[in-house]
Amino acid sequence: MITSTQNPRIKHLLLLQQKSAQRRADGLFVVEGRREVEHCLAAGFTLRTAFVCEEIAGSPFSLPPGTEMVPVSPNVYERIAYRGGTEGVVAVVEARRTRLSDLQLSASPLIVVLESVEKPGNLGAVLRSADAAGADAVVVCDPLTDLYNPNLIRSSIGALFTVPCVACSTEECIAFFKERGIRILTAQLQDSSLYYDTPMTGPTAIVMGTEATGLTEQWRQAADAHIRIPMLGRLDSLNVSVSAAILLFEAVRQRKI
């Protein structure tokens, strides 16, 4: 059992949590919580090591063959856990990169695209909405955040593992949609129609930019239609995760799923 927070393995775990450069160099990331780890395993990821505090975990935690389990004391777990109530398990997982060509899309796919998203919490919330709406994938173009950021995994409550998530360039993404006949709908205020007047029953990609600057001209030019959510108050924008939820469930409504 590891009882010291100065243990080299604990120090390395903390580096993986805190530094994206360390995650990229090692090809590893950290998942905290029984539910999140179970989603991660169901998605086919490989657990390298599980740090388990049995006093907090309570019931035994089943791990795949070959996974190293390292018992830790409560004081060590308190140091490595981002939040309470995570059932006493923090796992180190092998990273993998999903490409656009790896996506297994339905006959009439529904895809969310976020351009240059900065805040891990926003992306995590969008992933939760995408999971709830049964979206085929979430694509992050020209990302400014690490897809394996612990804040993203935590805010998605494991949806990062239930919805395929791809990082790529805007150019790659537009070409992918055009080749496959996926209609591009860009969320923007200018030169746009109300979202509920826009068909979303066919293959559809809903594209959103940052709250500060919106979408780049490249997406506006590539779009098949521009859509907007009516704003009846004094402000002119919603949080991107709220906008994503509204637009996704309009597609669900139209498809009558």
Q: What token pair was written down for 188?
A: 């923007």
Domain identity same for 199 and 223: yes
Scan for tokens 């924008």, then name that residue: 237
Domain boundary among 73, 94, 115: 94
Q: In what order do the strands lie in the sheet with 225-228?
A: 165-168, 137-141, 110-115, 204-208, 183-187, 225-228, 193-194
Are 83 and 109 part of one and the same domain?
Answer: no
**Would residue 3 count as lying in a domain?**
no
Counting the structural domains of the chain, the total is 2
Residue-wise pLDDT for 167-199, tens only, equals 999 999 999 999 999 999 999 988 899 999 999
Q: Are 225 and 116 in a shared domain?
A: yes
Q: Which CATH number is 36's domain given? A: 3.30.1330.30
Residue 2 lies in a domain: no
Q: In terms of domains, do 87 and 162 share one?
A: no
65 in a structural domain:
yes
Residue-number span of the structural domain to which 17 is assigned: 8-94
DSSP 142-173: S-SS-TT-HHHHHHTTTHHHHS-EEEE-HHHH
Q: Please report, in tens digits, the pLDDT of each residue of the chain (257 residues total).
A: 999 999 999 999 999 999 999 999 999 999 998 889 999 999 999 999 999 998 888 777 778 888 899 999 999 999 999 876 668 899 999 999 889 999 999 999 999 999 988 889 999 999 999 999 999 999 999 878 889 999 899 899 889 999 999 999 999 999 999 999 999 999 998 889 999 999 999 999 999 987 767 789 999 999 999 999 998 998 777 889 999 999 999 999 999 86
